[in-house]
Every structure is written in structure tokens, then in C-alpha cells.
A and B are shown apart, each in its own frame.
Chain A
């Protein structure tokens, strides 16, 4: 009995499922004595590239990502990390030491995915060789009794066996099968046979998928090296040029210098935010729209455009995103000497209340003889609720500013740089015991002739993020390639079709059999059924062409299986 799996050629499923750290064949020569270093290294490599270790590494990758989602991460939420330190003073340094506040940049996380990719490469490269090799090896010989295959069919044809096989060869190669024919006729005189194989794309798709994942990793690395991200807050009516000293934050990639920033200039002409004014979603924003004009380089033509959420501005290789917005109330401050020492807009930052109740400070460092400072709250639509001022709608329908005034030393003359949104009142005395409310146009006269502050109006500001990521497009291409490879490896099946023709009274009896790899579905049976029908009609046509009697005893196609 011929075993369908012809052992002398590549077993059907050698390319896949049995790789778990052991080769299925190979001479084992146990030797007495010690194991050398190379043996251990080979063993380690074989373990690394085994499916089992790949599985373990996948688990570790998933597990390692969990703290990155639960703990605040330094890169995206530095304030949260600081907060964690204050609320967990004992635990936080330990977590920091383990790298848990920057999981995805931590060395241990990198070790996991680098090992996983090493395992991937170590598995994929030999399989690529093997695929190339199997693309050169021929399909196995046709088994003797095709009826034992999962799907088979048998019918009579009015052709000599050799001719029948010839016709079958034409049909099958027309369908893209690779063929193998006997070098010499079968010794048992049972006629001719033919093996056909198709579906190498499955393994190719599998390899493309895994290599594309590697490509994604490389693209991410590219972005990390050559990309950058920068933030800038821009008040309505002002502009900024894209240079490092004009940016609020600049996060360059490792190989990026400030000279790589594209030299555009953007002016925020206007910013409109509209909110839903009635119904259950009152107060929710319905649209944001920033009107800007920009030049791609100094002296270049001025263009206007809109930046909206989901619609960044593309300038010279960088993209400018609208991330957030807020209010910047305008003040005019006169000091004790009667000089106007401040006249402009100061951005206030809104909290999480959702109606844009915003807080901020105003540090008037030029006031004489004493510096002045104000800490304030801007309420866009102010309503007095039980003695507290609340904002009930995010649009500035009834803007009110509440101020507390200080005089003294702001601590700005020496020391590290200070945030413009924070004020250190340690060296100052409070001038107003209670917060003072001002409507637009109203002034607050400070006690002891210290000066005056007038709330002159308000403007809006937007926060922009400028990014450049050269790895973005490669990552997308690799992602789509991975998807394509995945679909190929799932949809394409490697299958074999065998044809045997034995001499008979009418000419020959043709047997066709088919075999497919794991997880066969009905699709192969359908394909086989149509192939068998096509072969049969091809044989009939060929018989007619040869002048055979028109009516051959046409036994119905008997098909085993579906």
C-alpha cells in the first residue's frame, strides 16, 4: 500500500506545525563527553526560535504592556507621574526604578520585543529558504489508489492512458498547478500518472506577514530617531515662527537637531468654537475651527487655511494639529508710579469641569516700586450658585474674572526658569483679602495706591502640536502588507491533485484525487468537484477530436467525499 505521504520529498506540513524546538528528522548521534559552547549556543538559538518560546514571549509582551496602561507614563502624562509620587511616596521610587513610569521605553520591554523579533527572524529566514526550496522541488508521486484520498473521482475516457494524462496536464497547468510527470512509464503497466500542486502563496503570505511586522518595528525606530514633536500655545491675533526657542515643548528624535525644523510661520487669525446650546447635550462642543495664515518659509507667499480637529495643516513635511483651546483674558495694569506696566492677553488654563472655568496668573514683574502678581479665575458664562461663581456654559456669554492681588517679590530675578502659568507668592503679601470680581471693562483699584488692574476683554488661544514622523508612511505600508500577508495565509490552501489513467476497454479509466493541508473547508471540495468535471469534459472533447465514437459508455462521475 502506498503511503500518500511520500517520504522522499518534503512532507506536506513540514513548513509549519511541528516546529517546537525539535527537528522531525535527522541523525541523532549521542556522543559521550561534554557539550561544547557552540552546542549550547545552538541549543539556545533553537530554543529561541521555537514556537514555544515565541508563545512565551508573546505572553510576556502582553503582560508587560499592562502596567504601561494602568500607571501614568512619563511621556504622555508627566503631571500624572508627579501626582503619583505625591500620593504614593514609598512605592513610586521603586516603580520608577523598575522602569514602570516609562514602560514602552524601558530596557526590559525592549528586551522582550527584540527577543521576539529575533525569534521571528530566526524562524522566518530558514522558512524562506525552505519555501524557495520547495518551490523548486516537485510534488510527490501520485499514490497508487487515489480512491483512498479524501476527495476523489473516477470516470472512463476514450483515450489512451498517456493521452489522457496529457490532456489532464494541460487542464491543470492552465489552472496554475505545478506538475510532476513520471520519467518513465510505471513498471506495473498500470498506465500514466500526474501530480499537481498549488498554493505556495499561503506560506509566502505567512512570511510576508511576519516580515512586515519587522518592518513596522523598523519604521517605529525610524520615527524615534528622525521624527520630532513640538507644542505651542498661540493666542488669537499672534503668530509664531517654527524655531526651537519659540516652542513651548520640543521633543526631538535622537538624531534630530533644531535645524531640522521647517521654517514656517503661522498666524492665528481667529478661532471659533461652537457649542450645543440646548437639549441633553448642552455645552458639548459641536465644532472647532481655527483660521490661520501661514508662510512656509520667511518671505514666502502667505496662504490661509483652516485647522480643525481631525484636519491638520501640512506644511513643509510637518503637520500642525489643533489639540486644544481656551481663553486668554486681557488686562491692563498700572503700577504705583502711574506707568502702564502690562497690557496684553494672558492665557488661562481650563480644568476638567467642562465649561471652561479657567485658572491663571498674571505676573507683572515690571511694576515699581513693588512687583505685582494676580491669581485669577476666568468664568466664561458666570452664574452665582449659592455664593460660588460657576460657569454654566463653555462659550463666553457672560465673562467674569475673579482676581486676588499680591505685591512683593515674584522671585523672578534669579533662579531657574518659571512657568508663565504659575506664580510663587512666598515673597509676596496678599493685597485683597477676598477675590474681586470684574466684568469686562471694570477696574480694580489696589489698596495703598499700589496700582490698578483693568479687565479689558478676552481672546481665545489654541494649542498646536507640530509633528514630523518619517516612519509614518513606511509603518502604514508595512501594516497593510502585514494585513495582506495575513489574509493570504488564511485564505490560500496548499493543495495537491493527482491523476491516474489505467488502460481499459474503452481507452482508460481516469482516477482523480485531491488532498489539502490542515483545516480544509468546503471550498476545496467545491474546487475539486469543478476540476474533476472540467477534466472529464476535456477528456471527452479530446476523445471526440481524435475521432472516437461519439457515445462512450459514460459512467457518471462518482465522487467520494463532497
Chain B
């Protein structure tokens, strides 16, 4: 390939009018195309909903504003001990629904927190319920024994319950904790391992009772 290609100066000539008009059309089309592509590729930002606020100091715990809380789907299943349980029987209570598995390291991290918060809010009418995903019964029972989890868990080996909930809140992994208010709507969620401050902050909002009050009750 000749070097002349790179060194040849542009030919100086009066451009033909037809070529000029075509160039303009082409430039306009290319710009429009580029703008379109850039717009598409940039995507539309997710979030920015004013109905979802993050819990102070957390980037994985959220609260849903009253009136904009998704309805929790109903489900029923078998608990780890073999009895039948239906979620509708919890209607009227505040429910903390925790998706976990014995194989999951962050679930082990949050387990004792869940156990203690459960004990804390038990007398305030808050029920804790677990959904044990992709797990086997023996391992799950061993897990609950290890961490002193006394509240029941429903098995979800095929993630069917998770699928139902994912259609209303974006459950991306395990663990996920949802706080459901007395009317059966999801008021808050923690995506990932739940910490004591996060959980209590959400529960305070939903029950109207701070953790300290709950104890004194």
C-alpha cells in the first residue's frame, strides 16, 4: 500500500452541488443513527423511583413508601419438620420472610441476627418465617439447630416460591429478607445478608416500634 495514500493532500476543487447535498443528507443520517445508538446503549437508568428509599447507611436495605408496597403473593408449603404451612395464615401480622439456604455463606452470617431479632420482636406480634431454597432437609435442620433458629421454614427446593416473589420484588440471590406489613404488602427488603441495624430500622418503620420499645414491651 502506498504511502502516498496518507500524504496526499485533499484535492482542492469546487464541489459539485449534487455531491454537497448528498453529503449533507448522509451526515444527517449518520448523526441521527449515532444519536439513536447512543440513546439506546445508554439505556434508561433503573431506580430513581421516589417510592423506594434506602435505609440509612445501607445500600442493600430498602423501604417501600406506604401506598406503593407490592402485594406479597400467597404460598403454601411443607416446613422442615414436615407439617403444612400456608402463608395466608399469617395475615394480620407483620411477617419477616427470609430466603436462605444451609449452603449459603452470607445466610450463615446473618443467621444469629435473625434469631435474636426474632426473639426481640416476638411479643410485638412480628412473625419470622423462613424459605429454605435449593436445600435438603437434613442440612437445613442442622443449620437451624446450629444457629438457634426456632421459627419455622418452608422448603422451596425448586425456587417456586422465590419465583413468585421475584415478580414483585427483584430478588437476585440468596439471602433476601422481606418485611411484610399487616395487610400483606411488602414494606421493606434487604437484598443480601441482613444486619441488625438494617432489620431493626425496617421493623421500626413497619411496626411503629423501635427495637428498644419492643424489648420493654
Contacts and interface: CB of A to CB of B under 8 A. Distances in A.
A and B touch in the complex (CB under 8 A): yes
A297 B173 CA distance: 20
Interface string A117-148: 01001100110010000000000000000000
Given A29-B14, A35-B9, A42-B10, A241 B162 contact: yes
Contacts of B172: 244-245, 258
A344 B136 contact: yes
A342 B10 contact: no
Contacts, number: 160
A246 B139 contact: no
A416 B105 contact: yes
Nearest to A34: B12
Interface in B24-44: 26, 29-30, 40-41, 43
Interface in A236-283: 238-246, 254-255, 257-259, 263, 265, 267
Contact of A257 (B1, B15, B46): B46
Interface string A29-54: 11100010001101101110000100
A413 B12 contact: no
A343 interface: yes
B1 A368 contact: no
B16 to A, nearest CB: 7
Given A365-B102, A413-B109, A265 B163 contact: yes
A414 interface: yes
B145 A344 contact: no
B13 A52 contact: no
Interface in A351-392: 363-368
A98 B164 CA distance: 44
Contacts of B102: 365-366
4 closest residue pairs by CB, A with B: A366-B142, A43-B10, A344-B136, A246-B159
Given A21-B5, A342-B136, A245 B142 contact: no
Interface string B1-19: 1000100011111111000
A471 to B, nearest CB: 13
Given A29-B14, A245-B162, 17 more contacts: A29-B12, A31-B12, A39-B10, A122-B26, A240-B134, A241-B163, A245-B133, A246-B163, A259-B167, A265-B158, A335-B142, A340-B138, A342-B139, A342-B142, A364-B142, A368-B146, A417-B106
A22 B2 CA distance: 15
Given A263-B163, A415-B105, A254 B41 contact: yes
A340 B43 CA distance: 51
A265 to B, nearest CB: 6
A243 B13 contact: no
A420 B99 contact: no
Interface in A394-447: 412-418, 420
15 contacts: A39-B10, A42-B15, A46-B10, A225-B40, A239-B157, A241-B158, A243-B163, A245-B159, A245-B166, A246-B158, A259-B170, A265-B160, A298-B163, A365-B108, A414-B109
A27 interface: yes
Contacts of B160: 239, 241, 265, 298
Contact of B11 (A28, A45, A342, A344): A28
B104 interface: yes
Interface string B140-183: 01110110000000000111101110110011111010000000
A26 interface: yes
Interface in B198-212: none
Given A225-B41, A412-B108, A420 B103 contact: yes
A493 B193 CA distance: 70
Interface in A86-136: 118, 121-122, 125-126, 129
